[in-house]
A and B are shown apart, each in its own frame.
Chain A
């Protein structure tokens, strides 16, 4: 991290520091969510029912046009050439054969690429979203094995691919760090996550550990992971003069438009990013080199460009989750009460990004303990910039913590659920803030009963069915409630009672459009058929990133604000002849296609009547969401209790998951159908992480050696059991709709639940993911 970045981070830290001192002390009523969202009381509407995806018919017909499918006239197709060394310079570069190849329109290298500013690094401003701050194709320097060194445009993809294979690049290698051990030997730095150091110290945890009557002290390792959305990254790009249109597949339309505008030195409103369908994201669909290179090539060639990364290309230029090495040490009294909780370790990063896989995030509010020592250190390597991947931090952090708790339970002879409940905190153990909504114990009890936890083999390795050893395991899941600043919503209400809801949000399968329509229907008092949701377009006001499981809350709060503005505007239009005359927006709500006085339903008027009398066809309001201060006032998290039945083949060591249950406490569930899918999806990705997933990074040269869906194993249908999902459905009184985002919690705790079940089945403890059969032979 550069000095400038550090200064920025420090400045942000000061502001946050002041706020974080004041906001907790403020009265609840000053805080967003201080008064419960009225929709929480709606018990017989759409919320909490099963609604099929509104975009479902389109998707099952193959009629949803993804980014690489947008038709444009005169289109050219791009192919990339990737470096084969980790660090150094391009010494020789021969593009003559490529330029002469049939169909070639342009060969672009650092020699002829237009001058572009370096991407602003994610988080360094409200809209900066560069995954790395390295300049893109501006000189001959190489920073990772796989960096794009040339781009070919041709009339067809086959022609572009072939021409790219004809480009000869020679390198002058410079010393590089591509082995984790070498990186550690060069020194560590404390990780900074959004400007805040990843460190929490309470008491003297090492001393407490040393004198604890019972303790364990273990090291856990997780490898690099790749998101592997089935839709590879792709963009269809066209310039119109100095205006850039990017049909992209992205989780951040607004931020991307702003950051790309900066790169090309044009105004933010000269870039429009459209992304109605995202074929899976999981954190990876952000701004990477290919959109920048595609836009640059389109400008140089004067023609539209489609740049669809090959699967190998996704591995080479889109970062994944980095590796972690984590120590968890727990000290406990004989009754299981934690006296020391230590969770620290090291992750790898690059000199050009700012994503220190923050594996302690879930630990911070997980358990009560007398003393804490939590930290994440970073080392730098010459590799592709790592990035967010589903539950960054918690997914791998819970593997270590929740495995360690299982190990301690074994050591103490206490049931692992009982041990966790014994250490359930009554307030946030580090900040001291009250929890906004924490019902994890209820989730444990409901899950244990449903799963049949009492049938868990008491002795590891004691249950065998034929060749299969059977074991049960459990783990806690946790993920924060986030709501990022900057969200906005625009509502267009028509006289005939139709509403258009516009949010700069994203649909990559979470069901966002459907839940947004459901919530808007209830909030506006309209049938869902009369609601249209527009999203995935940077010209819509506001910034709503599909990250941090925050879209539902961010959209919810933005629609609350816009709805309030709509009510105010309608009251103004209603005038003195309305039954609502004289009422303030706070006294009025929406119901049955109109406005109603909240405590007197006889005073009401329909939208049609108000607009008709005002001789208006439409009312348009746009409003920003309230600042998300609730996150500083309460400790806000989602929770889950994960249960796994694993079967390990005694002959071959193969592990199969026979059953899995997730019992969640994640606020009120809005759409039961899509929520179940979200939870299951996270759990299945967790099963992959537990059993098979690893990006093979060759430590000799920093090259990823399995850039393929054949060699990077994802779970297939045969690996996925029927996954049971239940939830407490207890509304968080301090969030929009009482809901929490649920896209990421599903992956947390899963790997530990599997590892714990494998231990229960076999007596073998695997602390290095993935749990492949060779570790169990």
Chain B
């Protein structure tokens, strides 16, 4: 019974109450994933499980036996910032920095969803290829709250990253 966190296996908790979020923060000393509400209402705890973005606060860690979890700490390679992390710095996509890891993980998961053709609430044609317009990005990122009001910078950063990835 183990869960793979940023490529390394970790033991599942003995107490099934333990959320994936608390496992990361309290047991594995990976506090980059943030606890904003513990209610599934803010997105600060977003991590990627096998590439899908989920809320680690509502995830019981025991449910994720054998799954691959990527957290904010797993994005930078060889000490270099992930291009999206860099874009957040350049576009000032944060102020206090608390919602930031969740925003970044969420945006990476979002890009994969779009690639798979998953439409959104604002997609006019459900069958068409996904084009990540600004309105699409804003809708798809709406599960990640920001109280400092860095929304414009966040969307700018994600736009730039998506453009570069697509290019």
Contacts and interface: CB of A to CB of B under 8 A. Distances in A.
Determine direct contact between A and B, CB below 8 Å. yes
Interface of A: 52-53, 55-66, 68-69, 71, 156-158, 162, 227-232, 277-282, 308, 310-311, 508-511, 673-674, 676-678, 680-685, 708-710, 714-718, 720, 722-723, 746
Given A684-B151, A717-B154, A232 B36 contact: yes
Contact of B94 (A59, A678, A720): A59
**8 tightest A-B CB contacts, nearest first:** A62-B32, A509-B95, A681-B149, A59-B97, A279-B98, A684-B149, A509-B96, A62-B72
Contacts of A716: 142-143, 145
Nearest to A687: B149
A62 B41 contact: no
Interface of B: 15, 17-18, 22, 25-26, 29-42, 44, 71-73, 75-76, 81, 85-86, 88-90, 92, 94-101, 104, 122, 134-135, 137-139, 141-155
Contact of B152 (A65, A156, A685, A722): A722
5 contacts: A52-B92, A56-B94, A277-B96, A674-B92, A685-B147
Nearest to A281: B96
A563 B122 CA distance: 55
Given A230-B99, A683-B149, A69 B76 contact: no
A311 B38 contact: yes
Given A62-B101, A509-B97, A709 B42 contact: yes
A231 B34 contact: yes
Contacts of A718: 122, 135, 138-139, 142
A508 B101 CA distance: 16
A720 B92 contact: no
Nearest to B154: A717
A52 B35 contact: no
Nearest to B121: A718
B135 to A, nearest CB: 8
A548 to B, nearest CB: 18
A60 B102 CA distance: 10
B92 A230 contact: no
Contacts of B44: 230
A277 B31 CA distance: 13
A230 B72 contact: no
Contact of B98 (A280, A311, A511): A280
Nearest to A677: B92
A158 B34 CA distance: 17
B89 A56 contact: yes
B119 to A, nearest CB: 15
Nearest to B95: A509
Nearest to A723: B152
Given A59-B94, A279-B97, A156 B15 contact: yes
B145 A230 contact: yes
Given A60-B104, A709-B36, A230 B149 contact: no
Contact of B151 (A66, A68, A508, A717): A717
Contacts of B134: 722
Contacts of A158: 15, 17-18, 22
Given A71-B29, A682-B149, A60 B81 contact: yes
Contacts of B104: 60
A55 B97 CA distance: 9
- Point out which of A157, A162, A678 has the most chain B C-beta atoms below 10 A from its C-beta: A157
B96 A231 contact: yes
B100 A717 contact: no
Contacts of B148: 280, 509, 677, 681
Contacts of A682: 149
Given A55-B97, A68-B31, A714-B145, 19 more contacts: A53-B89, A56-B94, A60-B89, A61-B85, A62-B32, A62-B34, A230-B42, A280-B98, A308-B35, A508-B96, A511-B95, A674-B95, A708-B41, A709-B145, A710-B37, A710-B41, A717-B139, A717-B151, A717-B155
A428 B151 CA distance: 36
Nearest to B87: A60
Contact of B76 (A59, A61, A65, A511): A61
A708 B152 contact: no
B35 A232 contact: yes
A251 to B, nearest CB: 12
A282 B22 CA distance: 27
Given A69-B25, A230-B44, A708-B37, A64 B147 contact: no
B94 A509 contact: yes
Nearest to A707: B39
A62 B37 contact: no
B36 A231 contact: yes
Nearest to B44: A230
- Point out which of B17, B96, B134 has the most chain A C-beta atoms below 10 A from its C-beta: B96
Nearest to A724: B152
A229 B96 CA distance: 9
A449 B86 CA distance: 35
